[in-house]
Structure 1
Amino acid sequence: MHSDDVDDADLRAAIAASLLGIRNSADEPPSRRRQQAVVDLTGETESESDNDVVPIYPKSRSVIGSETDDEEDEDMKRAIALSLQESKGVQDPSSAPIGIFGLDRKQMEQERLARLAKRKAADTSSLNERESKSSKIEAAPTPRVSKPVQGSEHASVTIASASALTSSPLQYPEGVVKKTWASGFPRQGDDIKIEEVLQKSDLELAVLSSFMWDLDWLFSKTDTRSTRFLLMMQAKDDATKRQYESEAAALRNVRLCFPPMDGQVNCMHSKLMLLFHPTYVRIAVPTANLTNYDWGEMNGVMENSVFLIDLPKIDDKKQECPTTAFYEDLVYFLKACTLHENIIAKLKSFDFAKTANYAFVHTIGGAHTGTAWERTGYCGLGRAVERMGLRTSKPLNIDFVTSSLGSLSDDFLRSIYLASQGDSGITDLTLRTSKTSPARHLTDPTTLVAHHTASEWKDDRFRVYFPSHATVAASKGGPNCAGTVCFQSRWYEGAKFPRHVLRDCESQRRGMLMHNKILYVRPDEPIPLAPQGKNQVCRAWAYVGSANLSESAWGRLVLDRTTKQPKLNCRNWECGVLVPVLENPRTKSDAGGNSSSSSSSSTSSSASSAQAPPPTRNDEGTGGGLMGLFAGTVPVPMRVPGRYYEGGRRPWFFSEG
């Protein structure tokens, strides 16, 4: 396409109305079409090739442009019609492929040339009339979006002086975890819509990462005339990068970023939103992709969760605020993603003080040696636990709700258990590589590690929530909506798979499937915090983010064959937030035990005002007590205790659905 295409009003309108979708060719074998109906995020390093994980971009069913002005000219209508992908149509195998931005560039170029020829043949008065009409169409508003609930969206703020930058009210200054809204279910104060997350009225810049994208849906939730976008997308090879960049070049306010995916890296799975507004930045870390069904639309078939925190802009008169561990790890992750340094620098303009109560946990794709392995994957999780003062040698209860399962093993679950206690990963590596018992610690040979270290996780202390075939079949959307719920029967039936940890995952919102990835951790004894914690104790904590329970998501620590030093191999990019449940024992004692003082800095006024459901069962060994302990801090979306896989109950296997 020519460089002056962006000045063609009709083409710009067609691009604005373009839809996301990749269609299967008509002659594609049924087996291949079946494979593309699911998204497998669980390929394991030891047994899977680098090309197993393929992002599937869902076909849009929206009809952008159907509400345009009746006075549009015929060329405009034809351009918009060409940009729409009919959900029931069949693509001509001879046609050019549709790109991620929904543009058939060859066909649109032919249409553009035809329009130019038609205009040159028209007389001057007709041309002037058409230009006037084109200007009117260009200024038309974007497709209408349903208005969010009252009070959920900030109004644009007029800034009178630099000192007023921090005076505007923030919705979530302390941080909060919410369920995603779901169509057909009553709102109880603990959920949030995508419109309420984005707050489009004064959104200046949106930095977004996701695994699956529905861009026409996303753009319909924002004001594309005033908001700039930087999309962090998966592209394994240079040809794909060049294709996406070529398509994005036609959109003046969209830029792309491609995190490195060399070698073993196979999946850019992280979900992150940096939403820059005039007086604050909102950081959102959802478990959801940027698709309508992940955010509760499409009849409310799928639910997710999201962490949000609003950070005020620093007053120009104040000195630069000290950084926090959350800020440092976020910047470390963004730099690894190769995000533009100017955007990373923008974060210095905001006060991260309130993030001191949280940890940003990530998995950076690739092989990590030196000291880099300590900062990411499950090693980074252990580091975050220790830096927050939550390290413990006491037994834990772990409940992990996941939408995809890998080829689990005792060693892998032990590594997650130890990381949750605050271990760096070296203890598990020592146990796996030592030929003696007790084993000599790899970094401190004077310390001996007993072979039964952390073995208590097997005593019904580690529960994994994943839906059964019956749960999927009975859900609102049925098996056709379970394409992102992944597990393989060959792993489940393997001799070493720890089947005893599985529990059926049934939503408290009856009939919904889950795309959540939440790790709930409850120590047997509250963990006292350092003096700066003001005599607080941590009763529990949770990880909310993009990482499923698989080695691909959390990595595997090994000894490098050449250097004999630790090396962490990670196949995915992931990110999440560690959220603690804090309690002041003195306050609880003063209250005489009549009221719970358990709280977290993530609890907002809107969330705490909702009535917390009573505990399902005060039985730590079966997952009971979760709801009472995490009430007001991290919603518990599944029913607990979860049902055991027994009596013919089997997990959902996407390849057999």
Structure 2
Amino acid sequence: MSLGKPVEKLTAREVLLGQSSSSTKRPFPSDKTSSSSNVERPLKIPTLPGPTRYWDGVVKLTYVTGFTGPNFIRFEDIVQRNGVKKAVLTAMVVSTDWIEQQFPASANICIVLHGRPAMSRQMSSNRIFIMPPMKDDKFGVFHPKLMLLVHESSLRVVIGSANLEPYDYKDLENVVFIQDFPLLKTKPLDSKTQLKPFAREIYDLLGHMQVPSSVQAELFKYDFSRAKAHIVASVSGVFEGDQYSRYGHARLAKVIKELGAADPNRPPQVEMQTSSLGGLNVSYLNELYRSFSGIEPYANGSKPPRQTKSGTLPPIDVIYPTTDTVNDSRLGPPGASTICLNTSSWRKPTFPKQVMCDAISHRPGTLMHSKYIVTTLKSNKTTPSSSSSSKSDDTTATNNKELKGWVYCGSHNATMAAWGKLSISKDTKKPKMAINNWELGVVIPLYEDSDIPVTYRRPPPRYKPSQNAWTQDMSW
């Protein structure tokens, strides 16, 4: 069993040529049909069910060896190998040998992964590898986990937290959002302006990744009218003026406002589960919380928000494993190579240890590589006004059900590198969002009847005074 190589030791060549063990095949279903009648009947030939399609979107947890359940899904069942014609695969780390085992050799595959310098290379007639540009030569990683899986008559979109290697789909807990989209009943669209918002965000992200235009154009063939989720992406770069809210936590704030969740009378209570932590401090937690509340600080030329009183913590619980949890896990410390917090960051007096909660899995002894934000709103006793301009069409059409909150899942860890830093440009005096990483996730509204699985036990237990966060010294 390979537990993976530390990220800082990966070379571009190793990323492209990474090796891994083969996957476990799913058992073939048995025929349990029987008859107690003596009357001769025509022989019934059992028909195998067709491939599962998630037309309304679903959140699943990745399979972990030794555990079964309706909310768990294997990589093989996500991909559905026999029907794949084309695929776009993105991740920080890609095990190419393993991927070749999971996809037919005839499929056209575009793989986008982390590496420097930026490059694009045609490895064979139907395999292309791309390493997108970064904001600078030292900081940041390409970290989004996106799969576009083209089948005969549908497109499967998968957005999650797992790298493309067997370790992330067998040993660690990860999360995936999956939705299938049918072919349009009409001819393909002519341009991205005709795409629904969900597809348009993906189209733009692929453009920033510098994938071939033919890959982007594949989105023009499908009907995205039933898209369940809202896309939130981060792109490595600096975005000023009107572009500042396109990515990072400023984009999240815009989505929250569109959902109708930006209500000052219903302040959110936030759980933020992460597998990596940076140098958190109270100021940045408050910056994030404003976006979690749907506050766009510079919208319509408004002035910057007042600084929160020093030391005032927002209602955010950060869920990250203690050293005890890692030591007691099934794989122990060697299995936590991708769970990261520098010792020096943890020991800083400015680190807000009061918000820390332990990451305890529903699957005993399993460590999490997932990333969640679970936000709940205070109950609204009055009927919300139908004239609210902040509500999106899909929200107002939900039978007037009360919005209870929202859930984010994807690749964003609880770090400034992932979500970005908002400021005012000294030169242009315009709002500026600076982001080191590439990231991708989805936001889904939460209602009373919503059924969205999470990896960790809720409510998460707060750290005891004697407990410390799992730390390791890594150079990025």
TM-score over 0.5 for the pair: yes
Question: Closer, same or farther in 2 for the Cα pair 1:219/1:319, shift >3 Å?
Answer: closer
Deviates more, 1:313-322 or 1:519-528: 313-322
- Residue 389 of structure 1 and its aligned partner are, at CA, apart by 2.7
Q: Which residue number corresponds to residue 472 of structure 1?
A: 326
Q: Which residue number corresponds to residue 10 of structure 2?
A: 56
Secondary structure, counterpart of 1:496 in structure 2: coil
Would you say the 8 A contact 1:178–1:191 is kept in 2?
yes
Q: Which residue number corresponds to residue 367 of structure 2?
A: 513
Match of 2:17 among 92, 101, 118: 101
- C-alpha distance in 2 between matches for 1:466 and 1:145: 30
Structure with more relative contact order (C-alpha pairs < 8 Å, separation 6 or more)? 2
- Residue 383 of structure 1 and its aligned partner are, at CA, apart by 1.1
- Listed one character per residue, the Cα deviations across residues 36-75 of structure 1 (whole Å, up to 9, x for unaligned) are 9534xxxxxxxxxxxxxx37379xxxxxxxxxxxxxxxxx
- Residue 550 of structure 1 and its aligned partner are, at CA, apart by 0.3
- Listed one character per residue, the Cα deviations across residues 313-365 of structure 1 (whole Å, up to 9, x for unaligned) are 0123798896322122222211111121111111011000111x420000010
Secondary structure, counterpart of 1:100 in structure 2: helix
Match of 2:202 among 330, 336, 350: 330
- Residue 450 of structure 1 and its aligned partner are, at CA, apart by 5.5
Q: How does 1:9-88 map to 2 (within 5 A)?
A: 38-39=6-7, 54=8, 56=10
Would you say the 8 A contact 1:303–1:515 is kept in 2?
yes
Q: How does 1:440-589 map to 2 (within 5 A)?
A: 443-444=301-302, 451-452=307-308, 458=314, 461-526=315-380, 528=384, 531-583=396-448
Q: Which has the larger radius of gyration?
A: 1
Secondary structure, counterpart of 1:538 in structure 2: coil
- C-alpha distance in 2 between matches for 1:101 and 1:649: 40
1:654 aligns with 2:472: yes
Identity, in percent, stands at 27
Q: Which residue number corresponds to residue 645 of structure 1?
A: 463
Which amino acid is 1:229 matched to? I
1:147 aligns with 2:26: yes
Q: Which residue number corresponds to residue 217 of structure 1?
A: 98
- Listed one character per residue, the Cα deviations across residues 604-641 of structure 1 (whole Å, up to 9, x for unaligned) are xxxxxxxxxxxxxxxxxxxxxxxxxxxx2x21211223
- Listed one character per residue, the Cα deviations across residues 565-599 of structure 1 (whole Å, up to 9, x for unaligned) are 1111110000001011235xxxxxxxxxxxxxx13
Would you say the 8 A contact 1:482–1:654 is kept in 2?
no
Q: TM-score, normalised by structure 1?
A: 0.62
Match of 2:126 among 233, 253, 259: 253
- C-alpha distance in 1 between matches for 2:456 and 2:86: 35
Which amino acid is 1:288 matched to? A
Question: Closer, same or farther in 2 for the Cα pair 1:563/1:315, shift >3 Å?
Answer: same
Would you say the 8 A contact 2:18–2:94 is kept in 1?
no
Which of structure 1's runs of 4+ aligned residues deviate more than 6 A? Answer: 317-321, 453-456
- Residue 413 of structure 1 and its aligned partner are, at CA, apart by 0.9
Match of 1:396 among 268, 277, 288: 268
Which amino acid is 1:258 matched to? M
Q: Which residue number corresponds to residue 231 of structure 2?
A: 360
Would you say the 8 A contact 1:181–1:303 is kept in 2?
yes
Question: Relative to total residues, which structure has the larger strand share, 1 or 2?
Answer: 2
Would you say the 8 A contact 2:15–2:93 is kept in 1?
no
Q: CA RMSD in A?
A: 3.0
Q: How does 1:191-270 map to 2 (within 5 A)?
A: 191-224=72-105, 226-237=106-117, 241=119, 245=121, 249=123, 251-263=124-136, 266-270=140-144
Give structure 1 stretches of 5+ with no counterpart.
Answer: 1-19, 22-35, 40-53, 59-96, 104-142, 152-167, 428-441, 584-597, 600-631
Q: TM-score, normalised by structure 2?
A: 0.84
- Listed one character per residue, the Cα deviations across residues 95-116 of structure 1 (whole Å, up to 9, x for unaligned) are xx8673269xxxxxxxxxxxxx
Would you say the 8 A contact 1:557–1:567 is kept in 2?
yes
Match of 1:287 among 161, 172, 180: 161
Secondary structure, counterpart of 2:257 in structure 1: helix
Would you say the 8 A contact 1:57–1:212 is kept in 2?
no
Which amino acid is 1:173 matched to? W
Question: Relative to total residues, which structure has the larger helix share, 1 or 2?
Answer: 1
Question: Closer, same or farther in 2 for the Cα pair 1:533/1:324, shift >3 Å?
Answer: farther
- Residue 547 of structure 1 and its aligned partner are, at CA, apart by 0.5
Number of aligned residue pairs: 437
Match of 1:305 among 165, 175, 180: 175
- Residue 425 of structure 1 and its aligned partner are, at CA, apart by 4.5
Q: Which residue number corresponds to residue 214 of structure 2?
A: 342
Would you say the 8 A contact 1:288–1:305 is kept in 2?
yes
Secondary structure, counterpart of 1:268 in structure 2: coil
Q: Which residue number corresponds to residue 271 of structure 1?
A: 145
Question: Closer, same or farther in 2 for the Cα pair 1:451/1:263, shift >3 Å?
Answer: closer
- Listed one character per residue, the Cα deviations across residues 440-496 of structure 1 (whole Å, up to 9, x for unaligned) are xx9335xx95555999853xx211111111111111111111110000121122121
